[in-house]
Copies of this chain bind each other. A is one copy, B any other.
């Protein structure tokens, strides 16, 4: 196919960068920073990828200001790296060739709740906890819950999900519409507020997951859910990961509308017991939650217990009492800190893949074997209803050999997931860390289409260069 310049990684001309910063400083005053600490805090901080700071950070407070920054950057061919909370995990906010980090965290207004339509219009810096706190009195909630209290603009940009995705879907399913500033400074509303539409190309879904490489999100219309009348939650141990996965498959095939179904491997349970002072059986464990009426959540729990017993699992202990539910889930929420406790002094590096659920047990088993064979420590936790699991590798950073073994193990994990008919990432995104797998997953023809999209929307490659598409 024809030549696409997208994602060449050329450092912009230093004079251009200086000129752009100068214009922006005059316009934004103290809301532009070139201080090292601020710049480093706006680059990658959560993974083993190096920290690559932008040349300056601008704090935008309105859509018009975003337009101004984009226009200045475009005129001077200087990269723009959109920034929400900086909690992404694959180097999404790094600035490998410098440029302007465009911080939208101050754009955090909740504009309109349309309760009858079950939607809300917000600015991109609103975080998921802020939104749910705001909604509490309305009887509505927003279900997508990645580990961090991320900004919703960032969650849309990375197509985030979390523990509720098995029932409520991912950001792909819960973003109704976006406002986006494009490379020439235009503002596009990607869709109406109608619940469905057949009117042309799906611009919304194209920006969801585009990781800031096609435009800057300045407003989101999100789908809300009614807070369920009743919630039941429980824990069920299994003799093996395979038995747990088989129980999950039958649960979903049976049409049980499970709201959460999470897997912890024995190692992770051990870590949680130590950290949270619990006495859970140190074997593969499913943690579940059901949403519905009092009668239906009780029925669902009973039916799940029957399914678990068919695969040697149990006892399934469950409750509808809020304080007991919170206690059950505390262990899951503490998983990251608990994992760190397995190896004092280590850093925890999270990666994720997603496979067809029929291959999940096999994929986890091979991965756990690989981890052990290489002398690594890496507990598994999974959004198992979606075939999505995380590996939290605990690595001593001063041991270069261990770091290299960890990186090679993660590489094999990603290739294994793709070979099993899965994807390089279920919810963390591509960023820098997984760009090299795109051609493995989509083939050269698929990557070529993605390059064409990037080239069509951002011909000068100013938006978050070096992310998603393999560099060449």
A positions within 8 Å CB-CB of B: 1, 114-119, 139-140, 158-161, 165, 169-170, 172-173, 182, 184, 186-203, 205-206, 208-210, 214, 225-229, 249, 252-255, 257, 291-293, 295-296, 299, 303, 354-358, 386-388, 417-418, 421-430, 434, 437-438, 441-443, 445-446, 448-450, 452-457, 468-469
Inter-subunit contact A195/B253 (CB<8 Å): no
Contact A206 B209 (CB under 8 A): no
Whether the Cβ atoms of A182 and B253 lie closer than 8 Å is no
Instruction: Check A421/B196 contact, CB under 8 A, given A253-B226, A450-B203, A468-B201.
Output: no
A226 CA to B307 CA in the complex, in Å? 16
Q: Say yes or no: A421 contacts B201, CB within 8 Å.
A: no
Query: Do A188 and B114 form a contact, CB below 8 Å, given A422-B194, A427-B196?
Result: no
Considering the chains assembled together, what is the distance between the CA atoms of A421 and B114 in angstroms? 12
Q: Select the residue from A187, A355, A423 with max chain B CB neighbours within 10 A.
A: A423
Given contacts A188-B449, A456-B456, could you give 10 more A-B pairs where the C-beta distance is less than 8 Å?
A116-B358, A118-B252, A195-B357, A197-B354, A201-B450, A202-B205, A206-B453, A229-B255, A255-B291, A255-B292
Report the separation of the CA atoms of residues A206 and B193 in the bound assembly, to the nearest whole angstrom. 19
Given contacts A194-B421, A354-B194, contact A200 B443 (CB under 8 A): no
9 pairs, A vs B, C-beta closer than 8 Å: A117-B387, A119-B356, A190-B446, A195-B387, A199-B429, A201-B206, A226-B252, A255-B292, A456-B456
Which residues of B have CB within 8 Å of A192? Answer: 418, 421-423, 441
CB pair B456–A197 under 8 Å, yes or no, is no
A225–B255 Cα distance when bound, in Å, is 7
Given A201-B210, A355-B194, A430-B198: A449 and B296 within 8 A (CB)?
A: no
B426 and A198 contact, CB distance less than 8 A: yes
* A453 neighbours in B (Cβ, 8 Å): 201, 206, 453, 456
Chain B residue nearest to A353 (CB atoms) is B194
- Establish whether residues B199 and A430, one from each chain, have CB atoms under 8 Å apart when the complex forms: yes
Give every chain B residue within 8 A of A437 (Cβ-Cβ): 199
What residue in chain B is nearest A173 (Cβ atoms)?
B173
Residues of B within 8 A of A228 (CB): 255
A388 CA / B449 CA spacing, docked (Å): 33
- Let me know if A165 and B196 touch, CB within 8 A: yes
Closest to A160 in B: B198
Which residue of chain B has its CB nearest to the CB of A468? Answer: B200
B206 touching A200, Cβ below 8 Å: no
* A197 touching B423, Cβ below 8 Å: yes
Residue of B nearest to A215 (CB): B449
Among the listed B190, B198, B442, which residue makes an inter-chain contact with A188, where contact means beta carbons less than 8 Å apart? B442
In the complex, the answer to whether B386 meets A196 with C-beta atoms within 8 Å is yes
Residues of B contacting A428 with CB < 8 Å?
A: 198
Nearest residue, chain B, Cβ from A355: B194
Is there contact, CB below 8 Å, between B194 and A161? Answer: no
CB distance from A164 to the nearest CB of B (A): 12
A194, A214, A299 interface centre (most CB from chain B within 10 Å): A194
Collect the chain B residues with CB atoms within 8 Å of residue A252's CB: 118, 226
Residues on B with beta carbons closer than 8 Å to the beta carbon of A446 = 188-190, 203
Q: Tell me the complex Cα distance, A449–B429, Å.
A: 24
Report chain B residues within 8 Å CB of A139: 253
